Structure 1
């Protein structure tokens, strides 16, 4: 652990670098909040491990390891949320098309994001491969033709993986996954928003690779509403109350930021960045009800204010 001391009478906090924790994860897999009945906030990390090994949901008390739990799938994002007034908070871990819910660091529920219907020709080709009706070379040729007609980005994730895989691995992919083919929607980002002023229960917000934005009931795990975004969402920032009024700012993979107001999408981007946006955060210390949003790009940091 390395610690840097701030200058005397400085308003800045002291940064702490935890170098010996052996954590391998992206910034979207880190959260902070209470997990147990003690009410203390914990550092929560969904570790992706190394090449799919040692995947864990880790919790730190201060800078010391507190506890951990094994993860079955590679995490892409996590969020800490409340879904019961009389219970302890939960953690949602996004992994592929699934949202894995943990309570008290134990598996509690699994929610799967709905996917689009697969292209009939693509589905037929995978079915033929599963039934050994065609060999791997014919299967590859058929998928390449579909890619040229449909476009690669609109194909199912499994088809994309097959086309990008090494030749020596293609046969094993067919044997293992052909019978399980589905046009699943991998979750790219998650966030939350408080349901109402009367109860501190959160509504989950999910973004998927199929450009969908889902608002999910965190108690029944059903979808309140869905929106089709102009591009793939990668970061979500939200404020307000779901049953009153709210704003959801969605950053897409092509560095555009869109605003969703009470379930309606403004198709005009509120932020257009010439450089790649790496993160986005809402600043809540505002005047006259305005929200101040800061976007951080590779080259510069700018401030955007929206009413």
Structure 2
């Protein structure tokens, strides 16, 4: 009977607590020793074998590309350079359509087909300034003046000329002999003397003429020289290119290349630009801080910023709302389900280990993790459409699957006042004393207000007088004299009977003080100070001075007393400031104990 009653009470207590929202995510797989820490652009989900089983493709900073089929590693390959993005696209309409894997690395796009390296596309080199080209043409001649060429290159750099890496390396050489060797080493490559390559910063995929999953696609590439390149479906030629005002960092595409398309670009200058059919539109979104993530949600653009805020803009530039987060944003991605049902949601990973699911500005669910999420990818993994792949800072890998009956409708989230607001407060009944006090306040409101203001003024006056007296006697934390503000702080070092008082003195004003006397007083029966008075020659503004005051306890019983330190003025008798040091109980001398 007792157990039954206890169980009933426990159930009642649980029922009274607010019900915890069930997570819509199911744990599918976790590999703590995967050993690949990836950003969001380093992850890709694609049906690379055209068998309906979507693989996970990962690249990392260790120049590796790895493919997972289910929970096993199916393929791994070494890359020639550090990658910055990986994407899959369909270069032709085959039967069955087999996607192509593209890895952006340096100034090249590496193409993999059927899990084998197929080809690579190199971005066009940058145009070299004619001034720099003429200087190097003179340097490669026999009998050229190396020092004169060095000075000309240095002057060109100071005038704002963008130099190539070869010229920058040459200017880093200091002695003339090494400069001569550097120029001699460059002469055999006279035909390819000055070639400046750019670097890819981001990459996306744009459908060409059909809005289908297996339609022919094109690569959209952002580079360090502030360019957007659109490659054709074979990734061999540039179909279109656009010049931006800043270096792109995040790209989001929408539409078809042959019909109409929009490219939303977040750049390093803190602005968001829109490219429509190869033209940069005039409506520019200016952010308060640097962007850390960009996601397009229908006609809205969600931008995560470094100030822990996600801003939602209409694609024409109008701001809709903002979502304020408790900690910095790690990465963002879009959850999109189209087969079983139509649903979209925004997934945001925070640096405290939380992964949040938003529909609009409504928070739907939160997933807690034990590590910092560095990369997130949503799509179809295996045969499950609503899969979420998480890559952690420690190199771990986690896969979660969205429940098929999960409710992603943001309108179902409770908005407005909390339900506790409808519960009436337990207000006590009005007593006779309460009624008398309220009636007195109504009748004598003016007199009570005047009395209160008079007492408040008296209190302020008394406080000001006490503070002035405190500063006048030098007892305050800071004193002002001759336009200078002085601070003092003291610290006791030692266990006894030998002590040392470390005094820190700072002139916080704008005027220097000269010949400042310092006096130390204490109980002569307890302590002996060898030099109780001394002078400080000068106190420079904003400079902290350390003064050591030795002190010896002469009382065998080890008593304690206070030591007072005064900073006086060279011309006045009132101390500028003082500090009281409470001494600890002195330990007996170790030598005397033997």
CA contact (8 A) 2:210 2:216 kept: no
In the alignment, structure 1 residue 188 sits paired with structure 2 residue 196: no
**Alignment length, in residue pairs?**
285
Q: For 2:30 and 2:151, how far apart are their aligned partners in 1?
A: 51
**Counterpart among 146, 149, 157 of residue 156 in structure 2:** 146
Partner of 1:52: none
- The structural deviation recorded for 1:10 is 2.5
- The structural deviation recorded for 1:258 is 0.6
Q: CA-to-partner distance for each residue in 1:26-79, whole Å, 9 max, x for gaps?
A: 432222212223332222122221xxxxx2211122443221112112212222
Q: For 1:249 and 1:142, how far apart are their aligned partners in 2?
A: 41
**More displaced, 23-32 or 189-198?**
23-32
User: Residues 296 and 104 from structure 1, CA distance in 2 versus in 1: closer, same or farther, beyond 3 angstroms?
Assistant: same
Partner of 2:88: 80
CA contact (8 A) 1:69 1:105 kept: no
Stretches of structure 2 that go unaligned for 5 or more consecutive residues are 1-19, 317-594
User: Residues 132 and 14 from structure 1, CA distance in 2 versus in 1: closer, same or farther, beyond 3 angstroms?
Assistant: farther
Normalising by structure 1, we get a TM-score of 0.79
Q: CA-to-partner distance for each residue in 1:148-193, whole Å, 9 max, x for gaps?
A: 1234xx3334545x2797979x979878878343022222211111
User: Residues 48 and 264 from structure 1, CA distance in 2 versus in 1: closer, same or farther, beyond 3 angstroms?
Assistant: same
- The structural deviation recorded for 1:90 is 1.0
User: Residues 130 and 207 from structure 1, CA distance in 2 versus in 1: closer, same or farther, beyond 3 angstroms?
Assistant: farther
Q: For 1:25 and 1:132, how far apart are their aligned partners in 2?
A: 51
Partner of 2:315: 306
Partner of 1:281: 295
**Counterpart among 204, 218, 233 of residue 218 in structure 1:** 233
Structure number with larger C-alpha Rg: 2
User: Residues 64 and 302 from structure 1, CA distance in 2 versus in 1: closer, same or farther, beyond 3 angstroms?
Assistant: farther
Q: For 2:283 and 2:127, how far apart are their aligned partners in 1?
A: 28
User: Residues 96 and 260 from structure 1, CA distance in 2 versus in 1: closer, same or farther, beyond 3 angstroms?
Assistant: same
User: Residues 134 and 19 from structure 1, CA distance in 2 versus in 1: closer, same or farther, beyond 3 angstroms?
Assistant: farther
Partner of 1:44: 57
User: Residues 268 and 230 from structure 1, CA distance in 2 versus in 1: closer, same or farther, beyond 3 angstroms?
Assistant: farther
SS at match of 1:21: coil
**Counterpart among 106, 112, 127 of residue 96 in structure 1:** 106
**Counterpart among 8, 32, 36 of residue 45 in structure 2:** 32
In the alignment, structure 1 residue 122 sits paired with structure 2 residue 135: no
User: Residues 159 and 292 from structure 1, CA distance in 2 versus in 1: closer, same or farther, beyond 3 angstroms?
Assistant: farther
SS at match of 1:267: coil
In the alignment, structure 1 residue 297 sits paired with structure 2 residue 310: no
Partner of 1:287: none
Partner of 1:242: 257
Q: For 2:231 and 2:262, how far apart are their aligned partners in 1?
A: 16
SS at match of 1:268: coil
Q: CA-to-partner distance for each residue in 1:58-108, whole Å, 9 max, x for gaps?
A: 112244322111211221222211112214211111122211111122111
The RMSD of aligned alpha carbons is 3.2
CA contact (8 A) 1:75 1:93 kept: yes
Normalising by structure 2, we get a TM-score of 0.43
CA contact (8 A) 2:45 2:56 kept: yes
Q: For 2:292 and 2:229, how far apart are their aligned partners in 1?
A: 22
Q: For 2:136 and 2:150, how far apart are their aligned partners in 1?
A: 10
Q: For 1:19 and 1:129, how far apart are their aligned partners in 2?
A: 56
User: Residues 32 and 165 from structure 1, CA distance in 2 versus in 1: closer, same or farther, beyond 3 angstroms?
Assistant: farther
Q: For 1:202 and 1:148, how far apart are their aligned partners in 2?
A: 44
Stretches of structure 1 that go unaligned for 5 or more consecutive residues are 1-6, 50-54, 285-290
- The structural deviation recorded for 1:14 is 4.6
